[in-house]
Structure 1
Amino acid sequence: MKLADKLQRPHLAELVPYASARRSMSGGNVWLNANESPYCNSYQLDDSQLNRYPAFQSSALNQAYADYAGVEQDQVMSCRGSDEAIELLIRAFCEPARDAVVICPPTYGMYAISAQTHGAEVIEVPLLQDNWQLDMTALIARAAAAKLVFLCSPSNPLGQRLAAEDLHRVLTECPDTLVVVDEAYIEFCPQASVAQQLNQYPNLVVLRTLSKAFALAGARCGFALANSDVITVLKKVLAPYPLPDLTVQVATQALSQQGLQRLTQQVSALVTERERLTSALDPLPMRRIADSDTNFLLYAVDNAEQLIQALAGQGILIRNQSAQRNLPSCVRISIGDEAQNQALLNELNDYFGVSA
């Protein structure tokens, strides 16, 4: 037995790490597998302070995001993507081998991976298959035994939002459990956000990111929004210098008036392309799983892996979601720009033998 295998924490021996889009697929020239924005925007960078450590929390960045999200600055913590916020919540509030988190699959895989890595129990309460909404009776019953409940709205990988009344009911009926609402895709349906209800619910935590609609996946900047007492605890387990100076600069500019105007334009263009792509895919032998409030679509097909490999052979990457609970042979397609989406449509028409 190798030394690392001998010394690793026992529960990690069987852990399968999260297979990110970039980790599981490479190559290609049309990337529609990671829910990234197709837009790459320019920023002005100042390198005069790169010899200094950055601030633990940038007041300018956190205030800019507070203004954008409609919350107070002391309700904001910036971190390395919302993935780090998930890790911090589990590290700060879950005792290994004793406490549990609740997830509602099919959902974002990092909730379970982060919990398992830390040694917390993962309780699954699957979404209802007839409408992909919360199983409220089961969820309320199980949440009482958990420290954290992770709810993804709009959902990844489904695309649809959770019912507002259900979110409010969980928050109300589980006052001693932190209810974490992941709003990574909220820019595509901002009216569905619960962020401005932090003062109403002491147990509410909202996760946000600049990786999707803001087109900053490479900058690794996310936010936890919560009441100040929760933020104070999270900061106890946050790294001393969580965000590089360059990331702070870029993120602050993205949240400026000019940056937010650009965000609005690009989101509008992506929604238009999403609707165009949806209509163009309707005649094909692909079954849409749910309506999308995001920058991606989820479809059931006869043979997901065969389709994915056929498209990859033409340089187009989409994502296999067949391993998700109750999603057999399903593929997720990110919305690209007009040219990328047309390239996908052309190849799908050829694959299915349909005249364009």
Structure 2
Amino acid sequence: MSLTQLARAQVQALTPYQSARRIGGQGHIWLNANEAADSGSFSLDCSRLNRYPECQPPAVINGYAAYAGVAPEQVLVSRGGDEGIELLIRTFCEPGRDSIIICTPTYGMYAISAETNGVGIIDVPLKASRQPDFDGIIDRLGEAKLVFLCSPNNPTGDLVEQSSLIRLLEAARGRALVVVDEAYIEFCPEHSQAGLLADYPELVLIRTLSKAFGLAGIRCGFTLANPEVVQLLLKVIAPYPIPEPVAQIAAQALSEDGLARMRARVAEINRLKAELAGQLAGHAQVKDVFAPNGNYLLVRFTPGSAVFDRMSRAGIILRDFSGKPGLADCIRITIGQQAEMDAVLAVLQQEQ
């Protein structure tokens, strides 16, 4: 008997999330994972590595609370935003009975986490405007415990309209949690929904140090929520989720100097993004440049497959989204360094 047959049926049938590292590729310019081009330098004190770390390191919790403008009891730190997503599903959804709502095309881990936990998935696709179908979501609230929205949306870059989100939150009172994934919010901080947390206990935000902070390698994310929700998540989270070196680096990243470095990085990325968007908009092979709110641009080429192949042959690794609903010929380009953006444009200017 194959050992695979010993696994749960959901796992046997599961297609794993195709992360940038799993997809791989061969090249020298990696613009497929929305990583920052640098991380900065950090120091480590190794004197406590013989001890188990604290479950929720106070320096990290207090630092992020101050940065986000919330109370420390509204913050949970986890192994990346992905663990926050997983914890919410495990905490609030009964396997085989409950469901989540997603709005495709969007970040794939919402569905993967639900599938691995035996939780149903209700897809209410984005409208033609690329906004969530709030009427459609509200109509199905009775069938779901969690609603996942991504703002800026990965991969399209669009932002959730706050007035529509408030309407959804009003409808969700006592019925479901509304989770807004703000992994890329540092690139447009004025559009954060954190100001709604005080008035809407059903609202949950997902944050991360992976993007604007340039720390994808340490796997550190945050869930911002009503204290009651945080306490429930703490019942489910692993006893030692944040390694001591991660906590030290995160605390330094959230210091005054660390935040200044992050904001300087964001300013440079936004500058390069605006330049790239402007140059792409007038190119004959570009049909559409999507919303520029993250550290990436989703671009519809004509045809996308040919452009993707040319970039790959030149050693430039991008992310192909052409197989996703409504995203035919679309390729996502992470904003890297100036030289990397110049290389993308140089290949695009070459004859096919």
TM range (shorter): over 0.9
- Counterpart contact for 1:153–1:181, Cα < 8 Å: yes
The residue number in structure 1 matching 2:228 is: 229
SS of corresponding position for 2:169: helix
The residue number in structure 1 matching 2:168 is: 170
- Counterpart contact for 1:69–1:196, Cα < 8 Å: no
Partners in 1 of 2:126 and 2:220 — Cα distance?
29
Indicate whether 1:330 and 2:339 are aligned: no
Give the 3 Å change call, closer, same or farther, for CA 291–83 of structure 1 in structure 2.
Answer: same
Divergent runs of 4+, >4 A: none
Q: What is the identity, as a one-letter code, of the residue corresponding to 2:294?
A: T
The residue number in structure 1 matching 2:307 is: 307
Residue deviations 1:125-152 (CA, integer Å, cap 9, x gap): 01111x1112121111012321000000
Partners in 2 of 1:324 and 1:243 — Cα distance?
34
- Counterpart contact for 2:210–2:220, Cα < 8 Å: yes
The residue number in structure 2 matching 1:244 is: 243
Partners in 2 of 1:18 and 1:133 — Cα distance?
24
The residue number in structure 2 matching 1:9 is: 8
Partners in 1 of 2:97 and 2:135 — Cα distance?
24
Q: Considering only aligned residues, what root-mean-square deviation do their CA atoms show, in Å?
A: 1.2
Partners in 2 of 1:222 and 1:318 — Cα distance?
24
Matches within 5 A, 1:123-202: 123-129=122-128, 131-175=129-173, 176-202=175-201
**Structure 2: stretches of 5+ with no match in the other structure:** none
Report the Cα offset of residue 197 of structure 1: 1.9
The residue number in structure 1 matching 2:101 is: 102
Comparing 161-170 and 297-306, the one that deviates more: 297-306
Residue deviations 1:258-314 (CA, integer Å, cap 9, x gap): 011111111011100001001111222112252211111111123433322321221
**How many residues get paired?**
350
- Counterpart contact for 1:144–1:174, Cα < 8 Å: no
Report the Cα offset of residue 11 of structure 1: 2.1
SS of corresponding position for 1:326: coil
Partners in 1 of 2:342 and 2:316 — Cα distance?
11
Q: What is the identity, as a one-letter code, of the residue corresponding to 1:282?
A: A
Q: What is the identity, as a one-letter code, of the residue corresponding to 1:141?
A: D
Partners in 1 of 2:179 and 2:280 — Cα distance?
34
Partners in 1 of 2:220 and 2:317 — Cα distance?
24
Partners in 2 of 1:290 and 1:29 — Cα distance?
26
Partners in 2 of 1:143 and 1:271 — Cα distance?
36
Residue deviations 1:1-36 (CA, integer Å, cap 9, x gap): 412x21111122221000001110233211111111
The residue number in structure 2 matching 1:33 is: 32
SS of corresponding position for 2:248: helix
Partners in 2 of 1:162 and 1:288 — Cα distance?
20
Q: What is the identity, as a one-letter code, of the residue corresponding to 2:27?
A: G
SS of corresponding position for 1:278: helix
The residue number in structure 1 matching 2:207 is: 208
Partners in 1 of 2:287 and 2:242 — Cα distance?
41
Aligned-pair identity (%): 47
Q: What is the identity, as a one-letter code, of the residue corresponding to 1:344?
A: V
- Counterpart contact for 2:304–2:329, Cα < 8 Å: yes
TM-score by length of 2: 0.97
- Counterpart contact for 2:17–2:112, Cα < 8 Å: yes
The residue number in structure 2 matching 1:22 is: 21
Partners in 2 of 1:71 and 1:158 — Cα distance?
28
Residue deviations 1:156-188 (CA, integer Å, cap 9, x gap): 000121111111111111112100000000001
Comparing 279-288 and 209-218, the one that deviates more: 279-288
Indicate whether 1:83 and 2:102 are aligned: no
Partners in 2 of 1:319 and 1:303 — Cα distance?
15
Partners in 2 of 1:202 and 1:112 — Cα distance?
24
Partners in 1 of 2:47 and 2:348 — Cα distance?
49
Partners in 2 of 1:327 and 1:143 — Cα distance?
27
Give the 3 Å change call, closer, same or farther, for CA 55–351 of structure 1 in structure 2.
Answer: farther
SS of corresponding position for 1:151: strand
Q: What is the identity, as a one-letter code, of the residue corresponding to 2:314?
A: Q
